[in-house]
Amino acid sequence: MSADPFQLFDAWFAEARAAEPNDPEAMALATTGADGQPSVRMVLMKGHGPDGFVFYTNEQSAKAEQLAENARAALLFHWKALRRQVRTEGQVMRVAADEADAYFASRSRDSQLGAWASDQSRPLDTRETFEDRYAEMKRRFEGEDVPRPPHWGGYRVIAEWIEFWSDRPHRLHERRLFTLARGAWSEGLLYP
């Protein structure tokens, strides 16, 4: 047994990066708004560690609006090739502006332009409308760096518990649960 779930996560994530054919950093993000209706979608983890799991999005998207109403979320990593998954839940905090700026600057130029062109989660009449907006942003920022849009930023899910699930024959799975209490992690097991 270990007392540090982040060391275990680092090891599992390294194995997932070697084994998963597509997007080992993909995670299901579940949120709820004020109405209590759950919503889940896939996002890409862009940072992780003892301070939490980080993703970025348009702050006017449905997920961001839900997080503004209820700053709690659940995450699920499913690494099918390894027959493993990791689940966690916790409070969500906004990423600092300088951290969001640094990540945005690391994105491809096309992704940066797409962030400006997209009204994420809003109705779109035709694909052509979006492509026209993208072309407009391409012209607008031609010959210069693309700054982070004011409506785009990051979120950090601060884990209160983390469960590591491993597939075993005959559904005799292994479930290791790390729980944070008074600033210290403890580990236990769950029945499959």
Place of tokens 């992704």: 111
Average pLDDT, the chain: 96
Q: What is the mean pLDDT of residues 159-166?
A: 98
Q: Over the stretch 53-109, which tens digit does the pLDDT of each residue have?
A: 999 999 999 999 999 999 999 999 999 999 999 999 999 999 999 999 999 999 999
Distance CA 64, CA 171 (A): 37
* pLDDT the model gives residue 1: 54
User: What would you measure as the largest C-alpha separation in the chain, in angstroms?
Assistant: 60
pLDDT reading at 188 higher than 70: yes
**For the chain, domain boundaries:** 5-190
Distance CA 44, CA 56 (A): 8
Considering the entire predicted model, what is its pTM? 0.94
CA angle 59, 62, 63 (to 5 degrees): 70
Q: Catalytic residues, which ones?
A: 171
The correct CATH number of 5-190 out of 3.40.50.2000, 2.30.110.10, 3.30.1300.10, 3.90.1150.10 is 2.30.110.10
β partners of residue 157 = 53, 92
* pLDDT the model gives residue 2: 62
Distance CA 190, CA 171 (A): 13
Q: What is the mean pLDDT of residues 138-142?
A: 97
Going by C-alpha positions, the residue among 165, 133, 30, 170 that lies closest to residue 178 is 165
Count other C-beta atoms under 10 Å from residue 146's C-beta: 19
Distance CA 135, CA 139 (A): 6
Q: Do residues 92 and 53 make contact, with C-beta atoms less than 8 angstroms apart?
A: no
Tell me the H-state helices in the chain: 5-19, 62-69, 97-106, 109-117, 127-140
Place of tokens 């999005």: 57
| Tokens, residue 186 | 């403890």
* pLDDT the model gives residue 3: 76
| Tokens, residue 6 | 């982040």
Q: Over the stretch 15-30, which tens digit does the pLDDT of each residue have?
A: 999 999 899 999 999 9
Going by C-alpha positions, the residue among 77, 59, 57 that lies closest to residue 68 is 59
